[in-house]
Every structure is written in structure tokens, then in C-alpha cells.
Chains A and B, each alone.
Chain A
Amino acid sequence: AQSVTQLGSHVSVSEGALVLLRCNYSSSVPPYLFWYVQYPNQGLQLLLKYTSAATLVKGINGFEAEFKKSETSFHLTKPSAHMSDAAEYFCAVSVGRGGSQGNLIFGKGTKLSVKP
């Protein structure tokens, strides 16, 4: 069965600092992995996805994530945090053999705060 664990429910960084949000997955089949962002009172928006092509995936707003099979990780990074990055971030894994990118299991989320 597939599952996702996000380490740290709350991360705080200073503006301009590196952002690192951690995600580890468990999957019985080669996974499709996703990062979504949720701003207050809004739905989730896709940041980036890994679908078994390049292991380093670039997304919107300067975020990227690296798929590491040996570590079963898919951590999200951004070199320099901006105030507008403050939001909640969700890692997700697709259910089943990756063909459907809609049936997802989400992590509990990590709330990112950015200090001026």
C-alpha cells in the first residue's frame, strides 16, 4: 500500500533562506509523486510532479524536488524563500501503478512560515 510521511508539521525560515520540506514515501509499485501548495481559504495547486522521468523535477515559483529511490524521499526545496511562499505544502503519492494521477494519498501537510 502507498503512504506518505511529511516530517515537520511546521517549518519557519527567514526571507531569502533555503526552504527544505521533507517527504518520505512508501509504495509497492514505482510511484508517481506530487507536491501541492494550499494558500488560506483556497484549494490545492500543483507545484510539481515526478512521473518516472528525470529525478530532479522543477516546478512553479522556483521550487524543485529530487526523487531518491534509495532513500524513498521526495524533498521539496527552494534556494531563497519569499514572503509569498508562506502556505501549507502537501506531498502526495498516486495510488496504484501510477497511471492515474488523480487518485492520490496525501501527507498531513507542512505549514511554511517566512519571517521578514
Chain B
Amino acid sequence: DAGVIQSPRHEVTEMGQEVTLRCKPISGHNSLFWYRQTMMRGLELLIYFNNNVPIDDSGMPEDRFSAKMPNASFSTLKIQPSEPRDSAVYFCASSAPPSPLHFGNGTRLTVT
């Protein structure tokens, strides 16, 4: 089992540019979560999907953020336009009840 795979590992972009983060969950896991980690706010849940359907997106900070899960093996988190305050580590995690969360290694985003 390869675990949750995120790409890219690091992303540096300029303010105003579009950023797309990608996630491949563990095969067979039907829930997928996007978290953001910053020093100030810790780990925050942005959105989660169950069976490819968004269930709770109340953590998405603004309309600049959007997430999709077109199929069971792929999800994207898009920021358009990006701002310096979006700089953080973004984690994708997946689970299949009753198993708990399995995290990817994260994408470190820097917006200059």
C-alpha cells in the first residue's frame, strides 16, 4: 500500500497565480479530507468528501478556494488567485470506517 500520495511536495508561486494541489487517497478509502496546517492556527479541516461527494466545506476560507473529487482515486484543491496568507502546509488524508485517518506527507505552499 503506497499510502496517501500528494503532489507537489513543495510549491512556490507568486501572489495572484492559480495553485492546484493534488491527492490520491488509499485505494478503497471512501472518505477524503483536506487539512491546512499553519503555525498560528494549527491543523484546520478545509473540506471533506464521502464517496466523492463534498459533505462539509465550511472550513474553506474563501471563494478563492475550491476542491473537487472527480473519482474515487483523485482529488484537487485549487486556490485562485493565491495570496501570501495562503502559505501553509496542506494535507490530504483518507479513511474507510472504521479505520482512522491516514495522512499524506503534505504540500508546502509558499506564496510570495
Contacts and interface: CB of A to CB of B under 8 A. Distances in A.
Nearest to B32: A102
Contacts of B91: 43-44
Task: For chain B, give the interface size range.
Answer: 20 to 34
Interface residues of A, number: 22
Interface string A8-50: 0000000000000000000000000010100001111110010
Interface stretch (B11-19, B67-75, B80-88, B102-110): B102-110
A102 B33 contact: yes
A30 B93 CA distance: 24
Task: Name the residue among A34, A99, A103 with the largest chain B CB count within 10 angstroms.
Answer: A103
| Secondary structure of the B contact surface, majority rule | strand
A46 B100 contact: yes
Task: Name the residue among B43, B104, B106 with the largest chain A CB count within 10 angstroms.
Answer: B43
A36 B43 CA distance: 12
A43 B104 contact: yes
| Secondary structure of the A contact surface, majority rule | loop
Contacts of B102: 46
A100 interface: yes
Interface of A: 34, 36, 41-46, 49, 51, 90, 99-109
30 contacts: A34-B100, A36-B103, A42-B105, A43-B103, A43-B104, A43-B106, A44-B43, A44-B93, A44-B101, A46-B100, A46-B101, A49-B100, A51-B98, A90-B43, A100-B31, A100-B97, A101-B95, A101-B98, A101-B101, A102-B33, A102-B48, A102-B95, A103-B45, A103-B56, A104-B101, A105-B45, A106-B42, A106-B43, A109-B42, A109-B43
